Each structure stands twice: as structure tokens, then as C-alpha cells.
């Protein structure tokens, strides 16, 4: 009887050992793929304890005059910009790594990744994919890449924030942010299109704007020069 119990215990330990060395590794690989452990940027629409921490600090430093409710809205955005301007940071209203460091907070553990022109390859791929999925879900593949390219072109332009998060979450800039579709889970095409754009494919040749002429409500957007049309979107400068 004791031998049988011993065998069962050994078998159980072997199974648990296999589970430990296979499942966590795959989990970490998936997390790294979508950069789950990368520094978390906070922006208009974010919520949670990290936002409360930011609001509490800004309130004590007299940049913020709202409630510490953990909801990143207009007052938090304006307060963050005031803090950034006062401390010589890029005033994009986004609490990215530099702003978080200046505030003395750590939103998550960070992973190392190179950055160019304000773009962190690992941290921004999934955000671009969500933007593509929310803005161009029914568009041809080249149209999906084009939407991501516009975001990256804005990052390079002095007229816009110099990070993808700053561009995407700039107030009233993208419909998908306003209607919440930015929070949908992107499909494989959106992820691949984000990668292609980050790898340098720009089907728009430098465009900073796109819109659907059938649904556009802004009169100002019609003042932009149209340079090409892809699917239902017009692209311009």
C-alpha cells in the first residue's frame, strides 16, 4: 500500500514539474509578444489604481482640482499637461515612462526595448493593432497598414505628440477612441499590419490625415489635400 502511494506521489510530482516548465514559459512568450510586462502608459480613457496614484500626486502638487476617482478624463489630461510643461517634458497629456519617472511612480515593471522617433517597438505594436482594428476593420490589408502609417507619420511631425499613445489618445483625434472600439481585441491582420507599418511600410507616402467621406462630419477635414484613396478612406496632408 505504501509503495502504491509513493508511486502516485512521484507521478504527481512529475506531472506538476512538466506543467511548471511548459505552461509558464508559453505564458511568458505570449506576454512578451504583446508586451504585457512593458511600462504601461496612462492616457485619456485609462482607469484604475495607477490613475488614482497620478491624480493624488497632481492634486497634492496643485496641478489637479478634480476627484481622485481613477478615471483619466479631461481634468486629468489637462493636469498632466501642466505638470509636463512645468517639468520640461513633452506635453502630450500621456503618462508614459518619462512622465511616470518624473512623478516618482512605477506603473508596471519595465522591459528593455529600443526606441526611435518616440516609438517603442514592443510597447506600441499592440496599441497600433487596436487602433487599426477599431478604425479600419473592414478595409483592405493595405488600408490597415495605411492607418497605422498615419499614426507613425504624426509621431514624426512637430505638429503632433511624439509618441503613438499621445497621437492615438489626442482628444477627438480618432473615432475608435471616442466610441470605445479602441478597446476591442485586434485580429491577426491588424497585428500584422501594425508590424508592417513599424517596419517602415507607408502606403500613404507621408500622409497625416485620413477620413471616410461618407461619414466625415468635420468641415475642416475637407480642407486637406487628398493624395490617394484606399478602400473607403481618403488620405491627405
Could you read off the pLDDT of 120-141 as tens digits, one per residue? Answer: 566 689 999 999 999 999 999 9
- Whole-number average pLDDT of the chain: 79
Q: Band of the pLDDT at 42, cuts 50, 70, 90?
A: confident
Taking 90 as the threshold, does the pLDDT of residue 199 lie above it?
A: no
Where do we find the cell 505594436? 125
Question: Could you tell me which of 119, 113, 114 has the C-alpha nearest to residue 166?
Answer: 119
CATH number, domain of 95, equals 1.10.101.10
Q: What is the mean pLDDT of residues 88-109?
A: 80
For residue 150, being part of any structural domain is answered with yes
Q: What is the pLDDT of residues 149-162, one digit of tens each?
A: 999 999 999 999 98
For residue 189, being part of any structural domain is answered with yes
Q: What is the mean pLDDT of residues 184-195?
A: 93
For residue 10, being part of any structural domain is answered with no
72 contacts 43 by C-beta, under 8 angstroms: yes
In sequence order, the 6+-apart residues with CB closer than 8 A to the CB of 122 are 32, 35, 38, 111, 113
Q: Which is more confidently placed, 184 or 118?
A: 184
For residue 12, being part of any structural domain is answered with no
Give the per-residue pLDDT at 65. 93
Residues 97 and 130 in one domain: no
Provide the angle, in degrees to the nearest 10, between the axes of the packed helices 121-136 and 188-198. 130
* Spatial distance between the Cα atoms of 185 and 27, rounded to a whole number of angstroms: 18
Residue 77 has, within 13 A of its CA and on its CB side, a CA count of 14
Q: 153: domain range?
A: 115-236
The total domain count for the chain is 2
Q: What percent of the chain has pLDDT over 70?
A: 76
Phi-psi category of residue 43: left, alpha or beta, with phi > 0 → left and psi -120 to 50 → alpha: beta
Give the per-residue pLDDT at 196. 92
Q: What is the mean pLDDT of residues 218-230?
A: 87
- Of 103, 123, 140, which residue constitutes the final position of a domain? 103
What percent of the chain is helix, strand and coil (3-state, nearest 5)? 50, 10, 40
Adjacency order of strands within the sheet including 233-236: 209-211, 233-236, 226-230
Taking 90 as the threshold, does the pLDDT of residue 148 lie above it?
A: yes
For residue 180, being part of any structural domain is answered with yes
Amino acid at each position: 500500500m505504501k509503495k502504491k502511494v509513493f508511486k502516485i506521489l512521484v507521478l504527481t510530482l512529475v506531472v506538476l514539474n512538466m506543467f511548471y516548465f511548459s505552461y509558464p514559459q508559453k505564458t511568458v512568450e505570449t506576454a512578451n509578444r504583446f508586451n504585457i510586462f512593458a511600462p504601461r502608459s496612462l492616457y485619456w480613457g485609462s482607469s484604475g489604481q495607477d490613475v488614482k496614484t497620478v491624480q493624488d500626486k497632481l492634486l497634492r502638487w496643485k496641478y489637479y482640482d478634480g476627484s481622485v476617482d481613477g478615471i483619466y478624463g479631461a481634468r486629468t489630461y489637462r493636469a498632466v499637461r501642466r505638470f509636463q510643461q512645468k517639468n520640461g517634458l513633452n506635453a502630450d497629456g500621456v503618462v508614459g515612462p518619462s512622465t511616470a519617472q518624473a512623478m516618482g511612480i512605477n506603473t508596471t515593471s519595465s522591459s528593455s526595448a529600443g526606441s526611435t522617433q518616440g516609438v517603442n517597438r514592443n510597447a506600441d505594436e499592440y496599441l497600433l493593432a487596436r487602433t487599426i482594428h477599431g478604425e479600419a476593420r473592414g478595409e483592405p490589408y493595405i488600408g490597415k497598414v495605411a492607418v497605422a502609417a498615419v499614426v507613425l507619420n504624426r509621431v514624426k511631425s512637430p505638429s503632433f505628440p511624439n509618441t503613438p499613445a499621445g497621437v492615438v489618445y489626442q482628444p477627438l483625434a480618432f473615432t475608435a477612441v471616442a466610441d470605445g472600439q479602441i478597446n476591442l481585441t485586434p485580429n491577426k491582420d491588424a497585428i500584422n499590419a501594425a508590424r508592417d507599418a513599424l517596419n517602415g511600410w507607408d502606403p500613404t507616402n507621408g500622409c497625416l490625415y485620413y477620413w471616410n467621406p461618407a461619414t466625415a462630419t468635420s468641415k475642416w477635414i475637407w480642407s486637406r489635400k487628398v493624395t490617394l484613396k484606399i478602400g473607403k478612406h481618403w488620405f491627405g496632408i
